[in-house]
Structure 1
């Protein structure tokens, strides 16, 4: 059950991360649609970030406080930035239902659609965080119970082990008579058999043969391990030599690369940083669409699962009713048979 709760919590975390990524991608898409030096950027930003459902905002903030510390810091930073901008925008009354003059109508409608998507994402995020919080509470409660059971089990195992040890100790203190023949005794002192056998050791011939065989096996294993060590030492030397050659080759290639960059660009250029800072708008839009599709499919899958569960419950109910009716029919048949028997006897 703990593993089930953990799996569900991981699923919820993945859903929350997806929704947060959707929100980030939505803002990135909005910034990309604005372009550079748009005179209506401030107005459209206020339209996008306008608060419509305050209760949902409060629930998001309250549920966000129950998240982990890392997620909490990230959520507070993002929400604080949005709330500050919203607080600044609330001071000014503006009509977000009419497109301003000289403003692109398509851009305004796109902003309205993005705002609706943002509200949907925030609503879904609130629900996911509620479910995650409930799962976390159940998991913590069950973990406490499991810990108590584990402590009790460990205590019982220790007590059992102590009892077994004491039992074996008591058994070892008992004297046991072992009948032996004279040729089986190899305990001699000064060439004679002593009268006191308290220091003698009794064991079977099989144990003696096993120990002798084990000595031979250990010798062979020792020889084999020495050969393996020699091969490993030679391989280590070869690897060290190869490493030195590769380092020399890497330095030579780096010098050649730096020389070519200086020759072409006049200075050293970090291509990884250039590639990291480049943004592909089409790729970002596709990512947003993929995330939206994934979220829609997950919601549809949940609906189908709930529907299947309802149908299973209905099937169980009908099965119970059918069983009870069959039992009644059987009872009626028995009563009919008894009545027929009585009538026949009359």
Structure 2
């Protein structure tokens, strides 16, 4: 028994049990093996090519077939048809017989031949074989009635296998297309989710992430802090060294920010020379430490551009999520704190809560 044939059958869901069940469902029995031999010898004989030519002429006259004919290697198509006819019903109970027909129909599906054309091919084959049988044994009705049911059953078996192989190939092709679409979708999502210059999260993605993490923090009762970061005197860098160097400084700064935060913290570009950091599971004490680490790391790592060393500093505003607060509200508070850092000398961290507390004391006094 051919191991490859067994493997193919199993791939298409036809183990020994299903092969037996399929044959029995079509009322095909071991005794039909002798009848298959008679059909091969007495009905088909050495006329396989002639019969296929007749069948093909009928098939080619159909509009649906004519639409795909230009893309079809007719000689190969006809030769495979001839080979199938010569083995018509031979070894119908074996994995080899099943595997041959399953793989052939799968190949037809892959080539773009429609199921309706395959169905018509089998129907025309049946028609020609029945006509050939009647013509060959017109004076022997007993033989006609003995062999005709056998022809119909083998055609039914072949058509069943054609449908099974065809649809499985369609499913495999669709799964491959779906996988390709998912891969492409993931690439597109990554492109949209990533700022193309700095490699950190894009504005839209960081806003979406902030919304999700605020909801999660509310549900779990955990803390969340947000930073707004702005490069100090960035316009001066662009004016002095050009925008290409300015872009490199932005990339450099984004890398320093990412290296200073925790692995699971999220860094995004808010726009221009502004960045945002989302700190999950972080209270204000921890947020202060991380913010100061970012500030110090950036300040102590100047950017080297050809003949120039460009010192870079940043101003940071930090805010912790309040009960019922929206993403816009916490970003606004962090932004106000950041601008306060700029107004009070730059290269420093200002915490929104400290700023608000100071304002409250001032109002009371």
Scaled to the shorter chain, the TM-score interval is: under 0.3
More strand by share: 2
Specify which structure has the bigger relative contact order, considering alpha-carbon pairs within 8 angstroms and separated by 6 or more residues: 1
Question: With structure 1 as the length reference, what TM-score do the two structures score?
Answer: 0.26
Structure number with larger C-alpha Rg: 1
More helix by share: 1
